[in-house]
Amino acid sequence: MSEPDSSSPPAHPPRPIRSFVLRAGRMGSGQTRALAELGPRFVLPFRREPLDPQAVFGRRAPLVFEIGFGMGDATAQIAAALPGTDFIGCEVHTPGVGALLKQIGERELTNLRIVQHDAVEVLEHMIEAGSLAGIHLFFPDPWHKKKHHKRRLIQPDFVAKLVTRLAPGGTLHCATDWQPYAEQMLEVLGAEPALRNSADGYAPKPGYRPLTKFEQRGLKLGHGVWDLVFTRR
């Protein structure tokens, strides 16, 4: 009887970190039109090489990277309120990309671009170390079930990667409406030695982050929302 091959790969290799879960979605006519008309200008192709923000935006300005912008309402409002800052938003779902492109057209925004790809890979290959003034992660999937907690995006290894992309003094701003996830975020971010909490625990909501319709509805029902703002040392 032969010995088992100890060099064979494990039956269940570790799951790679992903910033998204594929879900079906419907495209409205306005989203479809915006995708066709504005996509070529405002959607950047994923490439395994660093992008040049000055070439993309035509200027040097602070750069903020958003992970998973959903339908893009908050993203567009923030970009409109901060015209001196440039933004790159990552989202894999086409309806959300179309919706944000529609707002880019309506608001005539020039300081916002989109990458329709997994944010983990975009950070790894397209964002240079120390190049970001900020990272936004608003209302990521909380993965409520305990057996799924390992799928949550805020984990020590991923936070360590985020930190490398922030410039000294750059901020990592997370928000969630799920208290157990907020507690995990606070623990994980607080344990990262390269980050400093801007508050004593959870932060007051920064003025630049607008309330979403979903958030407003939740607050009326007494649901909490937790913001965490950490700065790279």
The residues that are catalytic are 141
Q: Nearest-CA neighbor of 33 among 92, 90, 97?
A: 97
In degrees rounded to 5, what are phi and psi of residue 211? -80, 125
SS3 state of residue 103: helix
Work out the angle at residue 185's Cα, subtended by the Cα atoms of residues 182 and 188, and round it to the nearest 5 degrees: 150
- Nearest-angstrom CA–CA distance, 189 and 229: 9
Amino acid occupying residue 233: R
Strand ranges in the chain using DSSP code E only, listed in sequence order: 63-67, 86-90, 112-115, 132-138, 166-176, 195-197, 226-232
Please report the DSSP string for 191-209 in residue order: H-TTEEESSSSSBPPPTTS
Pairing label, strands 112-115, 86-90:
parallel
In which residue are the tokens 């057996």 written?
147
In which residue are the tokens 């607050």 written?
219
H or E segment to which residue 159 belongs: helix 156-165
